A and B are shown apart, each in its own frame.
Chain A
Amino acid sequence: MNHFETGVIDLAYLRDNGFLPSEERQRKGPVAVIECIQEIPCNPCVSACKFDAIGMDGINGIPHVDFAKCTGCMSCLKVCPGLAIFIQDKSKVKPSVTVPYEYLPLPVRGGTVTLLGRDGASLGSATVKFVLAADTMSRSSLIAVEFDDSTLCEQVRNIRVG
């Protein structure tokens, strides 16, 4: 099944086309993963980045993260209209993923949530590391979840509260 048929982006495609940071980079600290693989007229992530880490060839270009420059600061996550940016972090004792979240109720820090993959299937449960509630109406809330299995970092893309 192709991602253009189901909406579920193919992990192998992301891996093979340089959309994912290396294991080594992920162990150094948080890093942004942009799952925006289609040429669409959109660029707010580029100017949101204070470290000039997002490259784009014209407004219809595909964003590419310079993983060496990216600090995982999450500025791009808040503005991305496609909610297509995530933070992966394998540098801590517990690996974590940060996802944009625009549903109610918001989870609470320390609470337990269900982890969901790109197809919405459950990947088990995890603890909420932090909740950054939207600071202005135009922003999305950001939820970080931590878990034990570091291979989940490439797979967790959503959460379900309860």
Chain B
Amino acid sequence: MDDNRIATHPILTWDRGTPVRVTYDGRQITAYPRETVAMALYAAGVKQYSTSSRFYRPRGMFCAIGKCSSCMMRVDGIPNTRTCVLQVQDGMDVETQHGDGKFPDVQAAMKGVKEKNAEVLVVGGGPAGLEASLWAAKAGADVILLDQNPQLGGQLVKQTHKFFGSAKENAGTRGITIAKKLIEEVVATPSITVYSGFTAFGWFQGAVCAADQDHAVLFQPRKVIVATGAAEKMLMFRNNDMPGVFGAGAAQTLMNVYGIKPGNKVLMVGAGNVGLIVSYQLMQAGIEVVGVVEGAPRVGGYLVHASKIARNGVRIMTRHTVLEAVGSDHVEAAIVAEVDEKWQPIPGTEQRVECDTICLSAGLKPSTELLEQAKLDLAYTGELGGWVAKRNWAMRTSNPDIFAAGDASGVEEASTAMMEGKIAGLQAAYDLGHTDVPVEEQKETRYNLDDLRAGPFGAKICIGLKCVEVLE
């Protein structure tokens, strides 16, 4: 049987534990306790998880972080189970889902919905949510932190590169090290209660309902900080749903969180920082990057990231786009072509690039569903990735009890997300009368945040912020 697990890595080690038995379509596969179902299947060489509902097209994973529906399978008789965020258990029975889900075989063991009061409710345990929780707690508030993944940290847990930014604020330290430190601090803070594996699925007149597989809680918070992150943007090309086409973030989750090879020959689409960094990380995991395709005439991310992969012989193809994923039930190649100034493919320039994986890093879209349900004022701001909430300088939205922070408030990067989280967490606590942290701390963080954004790379963000940072 295939085993796509990575044995040695220059930065990471994985403590996998003792294998458990999982049945997949009637055959046994090896899985490890910390793996989710989708990851264990991928490690065993399974790339198709379902057949689509109308066109019966093969589907594999796309986001790998519980945002999309591409990894849904039938697990222990329950259809439509999101396998990328569900951890394996010994004896689990996983089946490919063909078309619409079959009716469940089992009676669910779920409890009724409990109600819980919360002073500050933080939704999302990534860099912004962790900092928001910590600083709200430091200021004196009681905090409940919800996170939909099996482990806290959001996307920080897969950032194996050293962070840019200010030496005062973690620069030069790898994201995974920062994540570990923040998570330990949150877990050690008695006034923070963590609900891991809980998805916040709805806003009900000031209450937030969240659930895991068999518990649901209706939180009645006084202040809510929404730090739900962002979802990978999709690109439109033929067969863009074929197994083997997935987000660059999904590749990072596979290799950096779970130690599983996303593929053997990867084509990266997008030369922004995410595309460049993930290309480098793929090579660190021993995977060949066959090229980086970028529609723009120049690299969008930092030149140092581009240079890092260029000096390993990776070809960056600016002014190029992907036209088609080629294969039957899995990617076997990509058709790429040159584009003109209007990003239209130039006929006659098509070329076939052999690869088994196409990673998309076309940017991220803020996850604002809860903010939309709360009927906040939102504005489409292309510079920030999509529709984002209007707010004041301290991340307070048009509803004074709701704050937004991190990518959910506009896509930037982890260092700025942490600072926004801190500012929002402190403000939520101040608004409740908790003042154990002096306001100068918050003001200084905001000053440092503006400083980080003062260069040419921050200029675009600042244009976006002018449209949304409009409240008093």
Contact = CB atoms under 8 A, between A and B. Distances in A.
Mutual binders A and B: yes
A158 B308 CA distance: 9
A116 to B, nearest CB: 6
User: Interface size bucket, B side?
Assistant: 35 or more
A58 interface: yes
A104 B307 contact: no
B310 A41 contact: no
Nearest to A42: B164
Interface in B297-323: 297-299, 302-314, 316, 318
10 contacts: A7-B316, A9-B303, A38-B302, A40-B302, A46-B167, A48-B167, A81-B304, A104-B9, A118-B311, A157-B311
Contacts of B451: 41, 58-59
Nearest to B300: A4
B314 A40 contact: no
Contacts of B177: 137-138
Contacts of B14: none
Contacts of A59: 165-166, 451-452, 454-455
Interface in B272-307: 276, 283-284, 286, 297-299, 302-307
Given A5-B318, A59-B451, A38 B307 contact: no
Contacts of A137: 11, 174, 176-177
A2 to B, nearest CB: 7
A60 B164 CA distance: 11
A141 B284 CA distance: 13
Contacts, number: 147
B284 A103 contact: yes
Contacts of B10: 102-104, 106, 141
A131 to B, nearest CB: 13
Q: Which 10 A-B residue pairs are closest in the complex by CB-CB distance?
A: A60-B455, A120-B313, A82-B304, A7-B306, A44-B172, A7-B310, A81-B162, A4-B298, A79-B172, A42-B164
Contacts of A132: none
A42 B309 contact: no
B455 A41 contact: yes
Interface in B397-455: 451-455
Nearest to B160: A102
B53 interface: no
B457 to A, nearest CB: 6
Contact of A81 (B8, B161, B310, B313): B161
Given A47-B167, A82-B305, A39 B310 contact: no
Contact of A117 (B174, B311, B314): B311
Contact of B307 (A9, A58, A103): A9
A43 B163 CA distance: 10
Contacts of A103: 10, 283-284
B420 to A, nearest CB: 15
A40 B166 CA distance: 11
Nearest to A9: B307
Given A104-B8, A120-B313, 10 more contacts: A5-B297, A5-B299, A7-B310, A39-B455, A43-B165, A44-B167, A82-B308, A83-B308, A104-B10, A137-B174
A26 B466 CA distance: 48
A117 B312 CA distance: 9
A33 B91 CA distance: 57
A158 B312 contact: yes
A121 interface: yes
B172 A84 contact: no
Contact of A158 (B276, B298, B311, B454): B311
Contacts of B189: none
A81 B171 contact: yes
Most buried by A among B306, B453, B458: B306
Most buried by A among B172, B451, B452, B457: B172
A44 B167 CA distance: 5
B416 to A, nearest CB: 9
A93 B75 CA distance: 67
A22 interface: no
Interface string A77-120: 00111111000000000000000001110100000000011111
B172 A48 contact: yes
A36 B306 CA distance: 11
B174 A116 contact: no
Nearest to A39: B455
Given A43-B166, A60-B455, A137-B177, A4 B303 contact: yes
B256 to A, nearest CB: 13
A77 B168 CA distance: 18
A97 to B, nearest CB: 12
B344 interface: no
